[in-house]
Amino acid sequence: AVTGVSASRASDRKSVTVKWKGDSRYSGYEIQLSDTKTFGKITAKKTAVSGKTSSTKVSVSKSAACSYVRVRPYKTSGGEKLYGPYVSAAIK
């Protein structure tokens, strides 16, 4: 699973930087931002395509509405993506 997830808003409030501890066993990571803790409405979504990636920057047009982020790893096997569990964090 993903560990050490943290997120911070840029000073221009137009982007959010999401960081986590990566693992080279995974093919990549899926990042989702939401305005609710239950992630009922996803505001932004991004995929980081490298098992060695340990951080990414997500640009969001309505970043003021984003309060939470979650990250999950995935592996590509037989042409399909196999997902791990989400790890959530509040955006600071």
Each residue's pLDDT tens digit, 63-84: 667 899 999 999 998 989 999 9
> What is d(CA 73, CA 84) in angstroms, rounded to the nearest whole number?
5
pLDDT of 62 > 80? The answer is: no
The 10 Å Cβ neighbour count of residue 92 is 8
Q: What is the average pLDDT score of the chain?
A: 83
Per-residue pLDDT, 70: 93
pTM of the complete model: 0.83
Per-residue pLDDT, 18: 87
**pLDDT range class, residue 89, cuts 50, 70, 90:** very high
Residue type, 30: E
**pLDDT range class, residue 61, cuts 50, 70, 90:** low
Q: Which two tokens stand for residue 76?
A: 């590509």
> What is d(CA 41, CA 33) in angstroms, rounded to the nearest whole number?
9
